[in-house]
Amino acid sequence: MEALRPIFQDRISFRIADLSTYDGQAFARQYQVGETTLVVLDATGQPLDVRHGVPTEAELRQYLERVVHSRPAVTRGRGR
C-alpha cells in the first residue's frame, strides 16, 4: 500500500486502521472486517467495496485504478 500511496494520494484519501488500537477496533466492528482488509468508502463514509487478503502490488494498483475511474471521491478506512 505504501508504494502506491504517492501515485494515488491526490485522488484517494488513505487511512490505515491499526487494529491494536481502540479506534482501529471500532472501525473493524463498524464495517465487520478483520486484519488485512481493504475497505473502500465513498466521500460520505458509506462502504462501496470490501476486499480481503493480501493482493500483489500490481493487483492492488489495477484495482485502485478501476476505483478511481469509476468513482469521483473515495477514501480508504479510518484509524491511526
Model pLDDT for residues 3-24, shown as the tens digit of each residue: 898 998 888 888 888 999 999 9
Name the pairing type of β-strands 47-52 and 37-42: antiparallel
pLDDT tens, position by position, 38-76: 888 888 888 888 999 889 999 999 999 998 888 655 445
CB contact set of 21 (below 8 Å; sequence gap of 6+) = 79, 80
The x, y and z cell numbers of residue 34, run together, are: 478483520
Residue 9 belongs to what domain range?
Answer: 5-76
pLDDT tens, position by position, 60-69: 999 999 988 8
Give the chain's domain count: 1
pTM: 0.68
